[in-house]
Copies of this chain bind each other. A is one copy, B any other.
Amino acid sequence: MTTATVQFLTHEGELTPHPDHEVELSPDSLRKLYHDMALSRRLDAEAVTLQRQGELGLWPSSLGQEAAQIGAGHALGAADYVFPSYRDHGIALCRGVDPLEVLRMFRGVSNGGWDPAENNFHLYTLVIGSQVLHATGYAMGLAKDGAPGAVLVCFGDGATSQGDVSEAFNFAAVYHAPVVFFCQNNQWAISEANERQTRVPLHQRADGFGFPGIRVDGNDVLACLAVTRWALERARDGEGPTLIEAFTYRMGAHTTSDDPLRYRDAEEVEYWKRRDPLARVRTLLEHQGWADGAYFDTVAAQCEQRAVDLRTRLRATPDPRPGDLFAHVYAGAHALVEEERAQFAAYQASFADARDGGK
């Protein structure tokens, strides 16, 4: 594969044709991409605010990665199955997952929350790299079933260092599994820059396992869409796995617990602000005459409305009940869980009694 970065849209918002890849452009599709990116950004900002207000325990912001996520999200078909990492709120949005579900998880209401089967969107995985093997196994199953669809699995630049990810690359290659490895290289793994993780551009990792790796401008939604679509089609057509390295930038902190001022320069952030994934689409929409100020105002208002709605619903989210501890540990019976559940209930009741007794 070429080591050049696939780009369709420069950071000044100009279209650049690409020899190998293409994407059809229409006012509607471009506006939809813009809309989803704007919504993703707005809800992400809302989540950061909600965390500051104590409504969430933690939030890993996707700020700056909207092109990668919305591009990949738009490439997916209904039969495709996604294994996200923990920062893929944009893809969740494209899949139709209620953002409230994602926030509930970071509120500490559940460790997962949504129904993966409903939108073919698996739960977030926090143990770095684990899900890459799950995705590969799922893809092996798809192939066994002769089912349509492919698997897209998301992970970060840091994750590529984990043995599990290399094992997944190898299993996928050996079994020729219909899986697209979608690495969002946001250049940071918490405080560690790419050179602490790898000596070579990450898409090159695929060469060593025997399938194509390709780098795409991760801040160019059109390129991300086109390349992901291409890779998914390859997978569906039985051509095996692909590694996509979406080269992007984590504009914010690693999570709301993190302080990036300790480890990276303000200039770097400024540099990447000028490569903002939304700005360039906005420029293109304007240049093409496909959207005007009124349109952008409408989008902003819609997003605002969604944010307000999300905030309201989150605040109304009840805590789980203590007895839920024991609810889903096993599918079948487990004597110890039953014993502890009963002891716990009795213990809880003794408190209620004590309270009622006016203690």
Residues of A at under 8 Å CB distance from B?
A: 160-164, 166-167, 170, 173-174, 176, 195-200, 204-211, 213
Please name the residue on chain B nearest to A243 by beta carbon.
B208
Which 5 residue pairs spanning A and B have beta carbons closest together? A163-B163, A208-B208, A166-B166, A199-B210, A200-B210
Docked pose: A163 CA to B208 CA in angstroms: 14
Interface contact B211-A208, CB-CB below 8 Å: no
Task: List chain B residues, Cβ under 8 A from A211.
Answer: 199
Say yes or no: B162 contacts A167, CB within 8 Å. yes
A162 CA / B167 CA spacing, docked (Å):
7
Give 5 A-B contacts (CB < 8 Å), ordered by A residue.
A173-B198, A173-B200, A199-B210, A200-B208, A208-B213
Closest residue of B by beta carbon distance from A166: B166
B209 touches A197 (CB 8 A): no
- Within 8 Å CB of A174, what residues of B? 195-199
The answer to whether residues A204 and B199 also contact, given A162-B163, A162-B167, A170-B161 and a CB cut-off of 8 A, is no
A271 to B231, CA, bound (A): 41
9 more contacts with CB within 8 A, not counting A166-B167, A170-B197, A174-B199, are A161-B170, A163-B164, A163-B167, A170-B198, A174-B196, A174-B197, A174-B198, A198-B209, A200-B210
A127 to chain B, nearest CB (A): 13
A190 CB, nearest partner CB in chain B, Å: 16
B198–A204 CB distance below 8 A: no
Q: Whole-angstrom distance between the alpha carbons of A167 and B167 in the complex?
A: 10
* Shortest distance from the beta carbon of A6 to any chain B beta carbon, whole Å: 19
Smallest Cβ distance from A255 to chain B, in angstroms? 24
Interfacial chain B residues near A200, Cβ < 8 Å: 173, 208-210
Q: Which residue of the partner chain B has the closest CB to A241?
A: B199
A176–B163 alpha-carbon span in the complex (Å): 19
Residues on B with beta carbons closer than 8 Å to the beta carbon of A164? 163
For A162, what are the chain B residues with a Cβ–Cβ distance below 8 Å? 163, 167
Which of A164, A204, A209, A211 has the largest count of B CB atoms less than 10 A from its CB? A209
CB neighbours of A167 from chain B (8 A): 161-163, 166
A166-B167, A197-B174 are contacts. A204–B207 as well, Cβ < 8 Å? yes
Cα of A163 to Cα of B133 in the assembled complex, Å: 12
| B198 touching A205, Cβ below 8 Å | no
**Complex Cα gap A170–B213 (Å):** 17
**Nearest chain-B residue to A211 (Cβ)?**
B199
| CB neighbours of A204 from chain B (8 A) | 207-208, 210
Within 8 Å CB of A160, what residues of B? 170
Complex: A207 Cα to B208 Cα, angstroms: 6
Instruction: Give the Cβ gap from A238 to chain B, nearest Cβ, in Å.
Output: 14
Q: How far is the CA of A204 from the CA of B205 in the complex (A)?
A: 10
* Bound Cα distance A105, B200 (Å): 41
